[in-house]
A and B are shown apart, each in its own frame.
Chain A
Amino acid sequence: MASAGLAPPTPVARSAPDRSGAWPLADRIAYWACWATGIGLALLTLAIVVFMLIKGLAFLHPALLFESPSADIKQSATGGFLDPILGTLLVTAIGIAIAAPLGVAIAVWLVEYGRPAGLARAVESSVEIVGGAPSIVLAIFGLGIFAQGFLGFLSQTAANGSVYGRSFFAAGIVMALLALPLIVASTREALQALSPRLREGSFALGKTRATTIRHVLLPSVRPGIATGAVLGMGRIIGDTAIIKILLGGLRIETVGGVPVLGLLRGTGSTLTTYVYEFSPAGEGNSPQKAYFAAFVLLLMVLALNGIVTWITLRRQPGGELPRKRWMDLWRLPAWTR
């Protein structure tokens, strides 16, 4: 829309940030180092994915996904991945089934009630300690607990009275400890981010805190809870140490005759221990199977990460698009903020 007698001119020069070519040498080196690092990291990721793809798909048999593995010297007879896949799903399900309600309960209590203050701080700190503890420590702790006599119903008891201590129950419960801090942190953040007007509005209508939580707050923080749960799932699926210590074996073996309970008391493997066992660090006989299992594992975890990104990027009620922050991918301990 040009005014009388004035037309925008041509040629027009576009913006040009200061060219690094004119900088002193040291700065130019830094500039190119940054570029090299960035591109290098991207290439590294590409290399890892392509490598896993090639190695993993080299021996791809869709049938393998539905066969049970068997221990055998000959690689061709070692069967498929059915049991590890089922094992992964089972352990994850148990873990999240325990961690999610507990985690939400703790988060709600911390944010909405939190009395007495000393107890609240203790709970907060202990959840963070668990979040920072290496999973191997959680694993040996679990073994210690579940090998006690009175918990024999959760796994098997040998003839001489010693409790085996390893089972899906045991692994699942310790996995819940692993996922708990993520769910607590995620839910807490979401609750704290809610506008106080929401609570005030509900109280002004005469509703109690409990009903407010149940009918107003929790539905609003569903994305936060979902994020925490998915992050927890990612952590559980990717963990090897706990499974290795708390779930011996390869195939799913049930204990006793009771249908579901027998399975939960039984042992098996997950994709992670499968990869471990079939690599040179374990029995070491089928690197190709290990690659394929690792590839499946990688896909699962990446899919979960993708879900987290999708959840956090969706428009929140209120219509604002949250800024895509790196830190959404983890729930970092409070002292980093």
Chain B
Amino acid sequence: MDPMMPPPVRRIAVDRDPHVAPPRPSSNGAGTGAVALPLTTTRPPAALVRERMSLEAVWLAYGENWVVRDVSLPVRQGEVLGLIGASGSGKTTLLRSLNRLTEITEGAARAGRIALDGQDIHELEVNDLRRRVTMVFQQPNPFPMSIFDNVAYALIEHPERGARRRRRSAAMRDAVASALQRAGLWDEVASDLDRSALRLSGGQQQRLCIARALAANPEVMLLDEPCSALDPISTAAIEELIVELRESIAIVIVTHNLQQAFRVADHVAFMHLGELVEYGPSEEVFNQPRQQRTRDYVSGAFG
């Protein structure tokens, strides 16, 4: 097959049940991915997995340049969706479109439908949407405030049930504590929550950003290469965190690191030059990819 001509896109039936392909010894050169072990070898039972978001024939452009072409994917709670692909494949743009963050760039255009719980996200109020679909960025970006203020930030802006929470109320402190605990940062910072967040180490800052994203009880969490700036120990901590969180939150993670995708993701979507080349359970995509392109990427032929 001519590698310059992109393959035909297979339309994914979004309501297909995820299933597990029986593990087979890797034989046909899908080499490097097989060494790592996935963090969980069991999948949550089908009944506990429910679809939260769906992308249908999504096209995204910056100016006249189409960056994402005709992508359709489901995002489910109870599993982690990994987006992999080389630089420029449009995976980050796709991620950012899920919470309409593409709109802050001038000249961004879109077509297709993205739905959250059945509702088109472009009909929702954007700040409402972004509270329900939060994002953690590649570089940790804690605000220049104390740790407490960082985590409480979204809570103060989005009080529940109409009552504006006071900064130091007991309810607020509990919410901050629980978010920090979920993020696995509580033990390290509980002693002094008023410390400046900028004094934390890189891994701690990233977990703080995750805590901040968790504080508002999102339904979907988007992670844009969250560990690329971190050392392996912090990376491991965050990966464990992600796997824990997937029960309650639908998680989409973009990653450059194939091993990480293999460890963490349940379903993987491989994108190339804006098109969705292959989508399936991670074992399938890594061990028995159906497309030649996928095989090439996963084996390190390009990327």
Quick check: do A and B touch in the complex, using CB within 8 A? yes
Q: Please provide the chain A residues from 1 to 39 with a CB less than 8 Å away from any CB of chain B in the complex.
A: 3-6, 8-18, 22
Q: CB distance B109 to A18 under 8 Å? A: no
The reply to whether the CB of B141 lies closer than 8 angstroms to some CB of chain A is no
The reply to whether the CB of B262 lies closer than 8 angstroms to some CB of chain A is no
Q: CB distance B104 to A8 under 8 Å? A: no
A8 → B minimal CB distance (Å): 6
Please indicate the chain B residues that have their CB under 8 angstroms from the CB of A17 in the complex. 103-104
Q: CB distance B102 to A22 under 8 Å? A: no
Q: CB distance B8 to A5 under 8 Å? A: yes
Please indicate the chain A residues that have their CB under 8 angstroms from the CB of B57 in the complex. 9
A21 → B minimal CB distance (Å): 10
Please indicate the chain A residues that have their CB under 8 angstroms from the CB of B66 in the complex. 8
B interface size (C-beta, 8 A): 26
The reply to whether the CB of B192 lies closer than 8 angstroms to some CB of chain A is no
Partner of A16, one of B8, B59, B103: B103
| Contact A3 to B6, CB < 8 A, known contacts A12-B61, A15-B102, A17-B103 | yes
Q: CB distance A13 to B105 under 8 Å? A: no
The reply to whether the CB of B170 lies closer than 8 angstroms to some CB of chain A is no
Q: CB distance A13 to B125 under 8 Å? A: no
Chain A residue nearest to B62 in the complex (CB): A15
Q: CB distance A13 to B110 under 8 Å? A: yes
Q: CB distance B103 to A4 under 8 Å? A: no
| Contact A18 to B108, CB < 8 A, known contacts A4-B5, A12-B61 | no
Q: Size range of the interface on A?
A: 10 to 19
Q: How far is the CA of A12 from the CA of B63 in the complex (A)?
A: 11
Partner of A13, one of B5, B109, B126: B109
| Contact A15 to B109, CB < 8 A, known contacts A8-B66, A22-B127 | yes
Please indicate the chain B residues that have their CB under 8 angstroms from the CB of A15 in the complex. 102-109
Please indicate the chain B residues that have their CB under 8 angstroms from the CB of A12 in the complex. 59, 61, 109-111
Please indicate the chain B residues that have their CB under 8 angstroms from the CB of A16 in the complex. 103
A173 → B minimal CB distance (Å): 47
Q: Which 4 A-B pairs have the closest CB atoms?
A: A15-B108, A18-B126, A15-B103, A9-B111
Would you mind naming 30 contact pairs between A and B with Cβ atoms under 8 Å apart?
Answer: A3-B5, A3-B6, A3-B69, A4-B8, A5-B8, A6-B69, A6-B70, A6-B275, A8-B61, A9-B57, A9-B111, A11-B111, A12-B59, A12-B61, A12-B110, A13-B109, A13-B110, A13-B111, A13-B122, A14-B108, A15-B103, A15-B107, A15-B109, A17-B103, A18-B103, A18-B125, A18-B126, A22-B125, A22-B126, A22-B127
